[in-house]
């Protein structure tokens, strides 16, 4: 009878606990059971499940019944771990992507069960208190996976190159949406309805929905050419890469598994690789970096040439690490809700390490000096004054963080959140101005580029003369209060 992984792990934990309680090493245990040390080791690690005769030997040596040893019941010491195993939480984690086996995780937990179980309980409690859902874990794991690979995946790049050559797609400029639609229909039997979502006003914020049984792709008729091309290229990605477990809407409302999250990202990566050919983009990017002065027009021309949205264009900057040896990079996407004037980060990526500009889940006020927010405010003002909701704004700044004195060259694009009308969006790419960046990017010291001292949030900023401050520095004040308390306590104890 085949045993599940959970059954093997639970039995291994019991054997380990009772052996250690008796003070036996593996050699002593082997003598008492007549079972080889290597096999005992495999049993304790949850890799092997003993045959009935060996189960009887283990139980007799440990002084317990075979029935209890084989049951799913764990002792109090390992009870939280048992709950964790039964919840299937560990199985949902994408451990295999990081070269980790679930038995290794369990073994780590088993070394110090009291401390680790307390840690696990704390994590689950934090998740409940902050209303973290499964998708929060999945998206965090996906970001870690992207960052581990510097957001560059050669296998998908090669698949996109082969697809472009086989179907003679343009490799030096924009790929027409109609051409992608034809390929979906002829190669993969799709039916495409360009106004398919119009009868469903509740879905007006979605860009597309795929009906798997009918092989029908329903598109939002308000999509512009760039957005339509991306959705079609992404559908091609699901099919070319043979990604079976996938979401059927353009936005992930409910995430069923990490595999679904990962496949959605892979299909989007394929779409970017098809729409913006890597080899052509590297040439264009090299020309951009060799400009003697910053040019927002060059950036806009790249978007026009590749018929790419700012998000797609900035995603293609994933070549920075491979082709320009620039590894310390971050990417942020801000959403500006025009109804309540709220700014939120809904996407971020940090390469090489976590950088200063990052999302905060503490409901604090992001620094209004960031180019990301400056452009969004400027865009809102422009829209209010002109009624024009089609224009994009670009900008650049050298942002020096007040706490660390690290400086980043940041360029950003702000645009209407089309087809949703009550929000605007900005995407920002930041490159740490280290020695390599100064050598690669010729215009980094352009006097026309504003140099601004920034911080992460107002609550954590000690700048005294900030006219853009949206909230008092409460976190700084609390830190200073604790520091004074500690100094006073130290003096008191010295006396």
Q: Give the chain's domains with CATH numbers.
A: 5-132 (1.10.260.40), 148-275 (1.10.10.2910), 279-479 (no CATH)
Q: CA 266 to CA 245: how far, in whole Å?
A: 12
Query: One digit per residue, pLDDT tens: the chain, 495 residues?
Result: 557 777 888 888 889 888 988 999 999 999 999 999 999 999 988 888 999 999 999 999 999 898 888 888 777 666 666 666 665 566 656 666 666 677 777 766 666 666 666 666 666 566 555 555 556 777 877 888 888 889 999 999 999 999 999 999 998 878 999 999 999 999 999 999 999 999 998 988 899 999 999 999 999 999 989 999 999 999 999 999 999 999 999 887 777 778 898 999 999 999 999 999 999 999 999 999 999 999 999 999 999 999 999 999 999 999 999 999 999 999 999 999 999 999 999 889 988 877 877 777 667 899 999 999 999 999 999 999 999 988 999 999 999 998 889 999 999 999 998 767 789 999 999 999 999 999 999 999 999 999 999 998 898 888 888 889 998 988 888 988 988 998 898 888 887
Q: CA 91 to CA 88: how far, in whole Å?
A: 5
Strands 208-211 and 407-416: unpaired
Q: Are 10 and 49 in contact (CB under 8 A)?
A: no
Q: Are 397 and 428 in contact (CB under 8 A)?
A: no
Q: Exposure of 185 by Cβ count < 10 A (0-12 exposed, 13-18 middle, 19+ buried)?
A: middle
Q: What are phi and psi of 309, to 5 degrees?
A: -70, 165
Instruction: For residue 262, give the nearest of 443, 141, 398, 440 by alpha carbon.
Output: 141
Intra-chain end-to-end CA distance of the chain, in Å? 71
């Amino acid at each position: 009878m085949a045993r599940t992984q959970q059954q093997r792990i639970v039995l291994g934990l019991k054997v380990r606990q009772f052996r250690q309680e008796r003070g036996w090493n593996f050699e002593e245990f082997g003598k008492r059971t007549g079972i080889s040390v290597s096999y005992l080791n495999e049993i304790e690690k949850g890799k092997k499940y003993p045959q009935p005769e060996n189960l009887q030997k283990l139980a007799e040596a440990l002084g317990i019944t075979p029935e209890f040893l084989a049951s799913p019941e764990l002792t109090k010491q390992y009870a939280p771990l048992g709950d964790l195993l039964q919840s299937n939480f560990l199985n949902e984690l994408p451990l295999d992507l990081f070269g980790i086996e679930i038995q290794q995780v369990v073994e780590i937990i088993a070394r110090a069960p009291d401390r680790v179980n307390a840690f696990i309980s704390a994590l689950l409690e934090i998740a409940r208190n902050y209303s973290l859902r499964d998708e929060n874990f999945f998206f965090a794991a996906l970001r870690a996976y992207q960052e581990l690979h510097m957001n560059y995946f050669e296998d998908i790049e090669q698949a996109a190159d082969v697809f472009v050559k086989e179907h003679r797609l343009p490799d030096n400029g924009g790929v027409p949406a109609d051409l992608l639609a034809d390929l979906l229909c002829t190669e993969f039997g799709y039916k495409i309805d360009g106004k398919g979502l119009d009868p469903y006003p509740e879905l007006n914020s979605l860009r597309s929905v795929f009906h798997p049984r009918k092989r029908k792709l329903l598109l939002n008729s308000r999509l512009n050419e760039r957005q339509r091309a991306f959705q079609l290229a992404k559908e091609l990605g699901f099919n070319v890469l043979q990604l079976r477990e996938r979401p059927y809407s353009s936005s992930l409302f409910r995430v069923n598994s990490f595999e679904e999250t990962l496949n959605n990202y892979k299909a989007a990566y394929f779409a970017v690789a098809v729409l913006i050919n890597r080899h052509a983009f590297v040439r264009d990017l090299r020309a951009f970096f060799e400009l003697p002065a910053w040019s927002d027009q060059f950036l806009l021309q790249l978007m026009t040439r590749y018929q790419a949205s700012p998000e797609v264009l900035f995603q293609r900057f994933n070549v920075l690490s491979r082709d320009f040896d620039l590894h310390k990079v971050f990417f942020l996407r801000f959403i500006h809700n025009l109804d309540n004037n709220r700014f939120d980060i809904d996407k971020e990526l940090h390469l090489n390490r976590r950088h200063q500009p990052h999302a905060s889940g503490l409901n604090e006020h992001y620094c209004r000096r960031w180019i990301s927010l400056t452009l969004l405010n400027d865009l809102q003002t422009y829209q209010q004054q002109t009624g024009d909701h089609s224009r994009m704004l670009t900008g650049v700044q050298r942002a020096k963080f007040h706490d660390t004195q690290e400086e980043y060259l940041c360029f950003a694009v702000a645009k209407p959140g089309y087809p949703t009308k009550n929000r605007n969006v900005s995407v920002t790419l930041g490159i740490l101005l280290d020695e390599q960046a100064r050598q690669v990017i010729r215009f980094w010291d352009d006097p026309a580029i504003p140099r601004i001292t920034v911080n992460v949030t107002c609550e954590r900023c000690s700048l005294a003369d900030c006219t853009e401050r949206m909230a008092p520095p409460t976190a700084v004040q609390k830190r200073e209060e604790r520091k004074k308390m500690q100094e006073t306590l130290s003096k008191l104890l010295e006396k």
